[in-house]
Structure 1
Amino acid sequence: MMRRSPFRTAGRAGLLALALGAPAVGVVPAAALAADPAPRPSLELDQEATKEATWSSIRPDLFPGKSIAEAGAIVQLDAPGRAEDAALVPITIQLAVPAGDPRTLKAVTLVVDENPAPMAGRFTLAEGTRNFALSLRVRVNSYSFVRAVAETGDGALLMTKAYVKAAGGCSAPATKDTADSIAHVGEMRFRSFAATGRPEAQVQIRHPNFSGLQIDQETRGYTPAWFVREVEVKQGEKLIFAMEGGISISEDPTFRFSYTPSSDQVSVRAEDTEGKVFTRTFPGGGS
C-alpha cells in the first residue's frame, strides 16, 4: 500500500482587498498637470503579487521545514494563462537533469495555491529517474499560481510556477452523466504513442472524482467528495510513477507520461476514497 499524505482541506481567510483613494479636490500646480503620471502596476500584476501571500500561508503545511530553490531548466511547467474550462485545465510537467549533473529525481508535487485542497497530487518516480514528462488535467477554483515542486534524490526541492486565470473549477458540475460515470467507475484505458514516434503513453481511469463542492442538481445539496486518491503504474516490476491525489484532479483522471515500450506488461492499480480498488493489466505495446 502506498504512503498517504495529508491534504489541506480547511478553508482560509480571504485576502485583503486593495483600496484606491480618490484625489483631493483643489488647485493643482501647472507643473503637476504637465508632468507624466507616475507609473502604476497593472491590476493583474497586483493580483499576482497578492496571491503570493497564499503560498506563504500554505507552504509550511505542504513542505514543513524545507527550503525550496528555483528549479531553473530542470523543471518546466506548461499551463494556460487563461483556461478555457476551469474544471479541465491541462498541465504538463517536464523534468530533465542536465548532462554532467549527478542528481536524480525522486518525486514531483503539483500545487494549486488557491484551491480548497492546494496539493493536487504528489507523483513518485522510478528510482534513478533523470528525465520524465507528465501531463494531466486539474481543477482551478480561482485565479491562482500553479506550482511544480520536484524533489531530488538527496531531498532538495526545486520549484517553478505559472499563473492561471480560471474560476469555479472545484464546484463546476460534472461534464458527464453521473449515473453513467458510476456504472463504469474504475474502467481503464491504456494507449501507447510510440508507434507515432513519441515515447509516451496514456492511462485513463473512469471516475467522477467528486470534489465535495459540487451541487447535486436533484437534491440541491452538496455531492459528497469521492475521488481517486492513489494510482500506481508499473512496467513489469518497475515503477513508472505513483500518485497520491486529491480533489483537484479532474474527473476521469487521465495521465500522459514518458514511456518506452517493451515486452513487459503495464499494470495499473487505483484506489478511491471509498476504499474501492481497481486494477488492470495491458500488453506492453498498449491496446
Structure 2
Amino acid sequence: MTLSPDRLDRFARHIVLPEVGGAGQVALTQAHVVLVGCGGIGSPALQYLAGAGVGRLTLIDDDTVDASNLQRQTIFTPADIGRPKAEAAAEWVARFDPQIEARAVIMRLGGDNAARVLRGDVSVVVDGCDNFATRLIVSDTCTALSMPLTSAALGRFQGQVANFAGHLPGQACYRCWVGDAFDAEDCDTCSADGVLGAMVGMVGAFAAMSAIRVILEGKAALGDPQWGQLQLFDGLAPSMRTIGVPKDPECRGCNPA
C-alpha cells in the first residue's frame, strides 16, 4: 500500500520519525481499533487515534451525552447533549478526517454479545469504560479471541494504562491484575468522586500511545507493546511508575479450563 500525496502531507511529522516512518504510517492506516467507551478516556483516545490516521474505528457506547460530560469529553459540544455518544463520536471522526471509517455501535457489551461484537480483524481493543464488570468481560473476550487489549482507567487523580495479551504464552491478562473481586458493577464513579478533566486527557492520550505501540509491533521501531507493564499515574504529585503484572496461574480468564 502507498499513501497518496495528501496523506503524506497530513502525516509528514510521523513519517520523518525513524521510530515510525512510512511503513509505520501504512500500518496505522490499515489498522482497525475497537474503542469501548467514548466518554472520559475514550474521547481523548479517539482524538489521537484518529489524528494518527488509524484507518478503521469501531466505537462502542450505550450512553448519551450529558452536560456534565463536557468538562472532560472534548469531542462533544452542547449541541450533542442527549445524543448517543457513539453516534456523535463517529460524526466527529467524519468531520476530522473523512478518509477514516468510523462505525458507531450503540450498545452495552455483556457476556451475551461481546464475542459477536468484537469478532473480526481487530488490531487492538482499547477499553476505557467505567465499570469493572464490563472491563472483565472485554478482557476475557479479547483473550478468547486472541486480541490485544489496551486497558485504561482512572479515578480522581490516579490513572493506569497497560497493554495485555492474555492469549500469548506467559502473558498476563487484565483479570490477572484485578482478580475476580470486581465482577460487580457497584464501583466508584466520576459523578460521586469527581475527576479533573486534564487528568482524563492525559490518561486517554497515553492509552492511544499504548495502542499505537501494539499496532506498530513488528512494523516500526516504536512497536514494543510492553505487555503487562502497567503505567500508574499520580496527577497530584505528579509522578508515573511502572508495575509488571505477572501471569496468574489460577486466573480463569487466560488459563485453559
- TM-score category (smaller protein): under 0.3
Structure that is richer in strand per residue: 1
TM-score, normalised to structure 1, is 0.25
From the two aligned structures, give the one with the greater helix fraction: 2
TM-score normalised by the chain length of structure 2: 0.27
Q: Which has the higher contact order (CA 8 A, sep 6+)?
A: 2
